[in-house]
Amino acid sequence: MSLQKQFVVWMCAFGAFVLCIYVFRGVLLPFVAGMALAYLLDPVADAFERIGLNRMWATICVLMIFVLIFMLLLILIVPTLAHQMAGFSKNLPTYVASLQAMVSKSTADYMPKFLSNFDAESLQNNIKDLVSQGASWAGQLIQSIWNGGQAVLNMLALLVITPVVAFYMLHDWDRMVETIDGLLPRDHRKVIRELFDQIDESVSGFVRGQILVGLILGTFYAIGLSLLGLNFGLLIGLIAGIISFVPYAGATIGLILSGGVAIVQFWPDPIPIGITFGIFAMGQFLEGNILQPRLVGERVGLHPVWLMFALLAFGSLFGFVGMLIAVPAAAAVGVIVRYILNQYVHSPLYRGHGGDLLEDKSETGAAGESQP
């Protein structure tokens, strides 16, 4: 089969795969979540196998430990989070109104001193409109995520089907890898293996490392804000940690939420307000200088801009399922693009036959000049 026909066949197969994901995106979440869980826990199952357990018992032990930890966290944290979520939603209009009043008073008291011709009333109205629109947009976003989550996630199916899918996938993981490896085209088997190894290294390095980073940051923020006595500190801290996989999003959203609550709650005392900002400054220092270099590192090859684009693009196309597959898809595309660019740089299309001829002549001339 010619190279052109192979390209057409693989493009058709890829298009069919994307079409299937788009058509069945409403029911894919438990299966994608189960596959992702199996992928994350496969190294742990391999470790259990190395100590003498067979694959079946290794899979059972790993999933039992995961379920126990998950249920423990569910029992201990979820009721408190639900209570804080309800309280935060109920008090959000009050916080926004208080911030509006503070901003209006500050602009009325101080702005005319610096700008005598400045329209303070117009600024106050603009700030009020901006804060109101921002609060309205945030409320609509949270509500849409919650409604979409109820419609798409289907929590019952997620809790029931995902562990079953994860069990079978984890049990048969090595066998599936061998089967896929046996189906690779013989002529390109080595190259495809190398690309898959790079994709696996990129995805595993980012996902497993970023999960640890998110857990550590979420715990740090939640404990710090709770010890400070900030209202809804546990909720805000965990939210900041969970969404920290999006570059700068976790710290930014957490800082805005905690800063706004701290200003309303502690004003005019500057010490707890400063401590609130200091907690997030310390978290960013830990993330940038310790956690990211040690747990994620530079080997993942996922640029923050490319990652954010992938999350938005796949999320808009496939919903929450798309956000789950955005990271591996972004890693795969990045590896393939780098491979194509590397092939292009070493091809005649880049170097050109004329360039090769000139290089050969210059090398020949240099060799001739060096002769006595």
The mean pLDDT of 199-223, rounded to a whole number, is 83
User: Which of 267, 297, 327 marks a domain boundary?
Assistant: 297
Residues 212 and 289 in one domain: yes
Task: Note the pLDDT of residue 109.
Answer: 54
* Intra-chain end-to-end CA distance of the chain, in Å: 54
**Residue 245 lies inside a defined structural domain of this protein:** yes
Where do the H-state alpha helices sit in 53-188? 55-114, 120-148, 155-171, 173-182
307 within domain boundaries: yes
Average pLDDT over residues 300-307: 69
| 315 and 287 housed in the same domain | no
Write out the two tokens for 20: 């299937």
Compute the distance between CA of residue 189 and CA of residue 283 in angstroms, rounded to an integer: 44
Tell me, yes or no, whether 251 lies in a domain.
Answer: yes
Q: Is the pLDDT of residue 263 over 60?
A: yes
In 3-state terms, what secondary structure has residue 309?
Answer: helix
Domain count, the chain: 2
Residues 273, 241 share a domain: yes
305 and 245, same structural domain? Answer: no
Q: Please check whether residues 228 and 276 belong to one and the same domain.
A: yes
Neighbours of 241 (CB within 10 A): 23
- Supply the pLDDT for residue 151: 46
HSE on the CB side for 37, CA within 13 Å?
26
Q: Is position 90 within any domain?
A: no
Residue 366 lies in a domain: no
Same domain as 282, residue 234: yes
Is there a single domain that holds both residue 284 and residue 213? yes
Say yes or no: 257 and 310 in one domain. no
Q: What would you report as the CA-atom Rg of the chain, rounded to the nearest whole angstrom?
A: 27
Angle separating helix axes 55-114 and 155-171, nearest 10 degrees = 130
Yes or no: say if 277 and 259 are a contact pair by the CB < 8 Å rule: yes
Give the per-residue pLDDT at 125. Answer: 57
Q: How far apart are CA 239 and CA 37, in angstroms?
A: 21
Last residue of a domain, one of 263, 297, 331: 297
Domain match, 215 and 293 both: yes
The amino acid at residue 162 is T
Q: How many other CB atoms are found less than 10 A from the CB of residue 307?
A: 21
Neighbours of 266 (CB within 10 A): 19
Range of the domain at 320: 301-350
pLDDT digits (tens, 9 = 90+) for 66-124: 888 888 877 877 777 777 777 777 777 777 777 667 666 665 555 445 444 445 455 55
Looking at the structure, tell me whether residues 273 and 335 fall in a common domain: no
Mean pLDDT taken over the chain: 75
- Domain annotation covers residue 264: yes
Of 253, 277, 297, the last residue of a domain is: 297
How far apart CA 87 and CA 145 sit, in angstroms, is 18
The pLDDT assigned to 107 comes to 55
pTM > 0.75: yes or no: no
- Whether 341 is in a domain gets the answer yes
Q: According to the model, what pLDDT value does residue 128 have?
A: 56
- In a domain, residue 173? The reply is no
In a shared domain, residues 274 and 329:
no
| Cα distance between residue 291 and residue 283, in whole Å | 10
Helix (H, G, I), strand (E, B) or coil at 284: helix
28-52 CB burial, b ≥16 within 10 A, e <16: bbbbbbbbbbbbbbbebbeebeeee
Residue 234 and residue 247 share a domain: yes
Closest CA to 252 of 297, 222, 283, 225: 283
